[in-house]
Amino acid sequence: MENCNTMSKSAVKISLDLLSNPLCEQDQDFLNMATALDTAMKRMDAFNQEKVNQIQKTVIEPLKKFGSVFPSLNMAVKRREQALQDYRRLQAKVEKYEEKEKTGPVLAKLHQAREELRPVREDFEAKNKQLLDEMPRFHSSRLSYFQPSFESLIRAQVVYYSEMHKIFGDLARQLDQPGHSDEQREQENEAKLSELRALSIVADD
């Protein structure tokens, strides 16, 4: 979008520079061409700004909002991983006491370890189930979220380039010399360039 704006503003500046050229005061035909070009460039700039604004509103901002959910998603994954580590640590503690000889103190510690394990296991299972349920839904929702933005992007481009076709078609008709082919114009330009090169002030030393 920044590049589109830069290109559009540069085109407008070129047309304004041509209008300020002293030749416009000396040659009415050149003034007419420069004016036609300036009008076309300003129309192009206006449509470009409309395109940029639409894409900003319907594509870029929705994508930014979509990206804003990832920190929360990553945090949920980290909380699940922390719960898993706590669960494994207490599970290993329970298994250690289960392997020992069943004395009174060991049984007491085993009971305490199991009591500590239960809420931690439930917390992990809840966090794990939440991710298992919601991650596939999040993943599958991407297309339905992005599709309107992609459609809007395409429509914005279609409108813009359709208008550009009209603008430059109108400009070409205003500046066109009837009966002149591209080859004839090229030959005329080469002839004029040769005349300029023949001037002593531009001749090579």
pLDDT recorded at residue 119: 94
Kindly list the structural domains of the chain, giving each domain's residue range(s) and its CATH number in brackets, ordered by start.
Answer: 1-166 (1.20.1270.60)
pLDDT band at residue 182 using 50, 70 and 90 as cut-offs: confident
pLDDT band at residue 174 using 50, 70 and 90 as cut-offs: confident
pLDDT recorded at residue 201: 80
pLDDT band at residue 35 using 50, 70 and 90 as cut-offs: very high
Report DSSP letters for 108-166, one per residue. HHHHHHHHHHHHHHHHHHHHHHHHHHHHHHHHHTHHHHHHHHHHHHHHHHHHHHHHHHH
Which segment of 18-22, 136-140, 150-154, 155-159 scores lowest on mean pLDDT?
A: 136-140
Residues whose CB is less than 8 angstroms from the CB of residue 140 and which lie 6 or more positions away in sequence, other chains included: none
pLDDT recorded at residue 82: 94
Q: For residue 95, give both structure tokens.
A: 């298994």
Q: Average pLDDT, stretch 57-71? A: 88
Q: In the predicted model, what is the mean pLDDT of the chain?
A: 89
Contact 45/12 with Cβ under 8 angstroms? yes
DSSP-derived 3-state class of residue 187: helix
Reported pTM: 0.64
Q: What pLDDT, in 10s, does the model give residues 84-139?
A: 999 999 999 999 988 888 888 888 988 999 999 999 999 999 999 999 998 888 88
Which segment of 47-56, 72-81, 185-194 scores lowest on mean pLDDT?
A: 185-194
pLDDT band at residue 68 using 50, 70 and 90 as cut-offs: confident
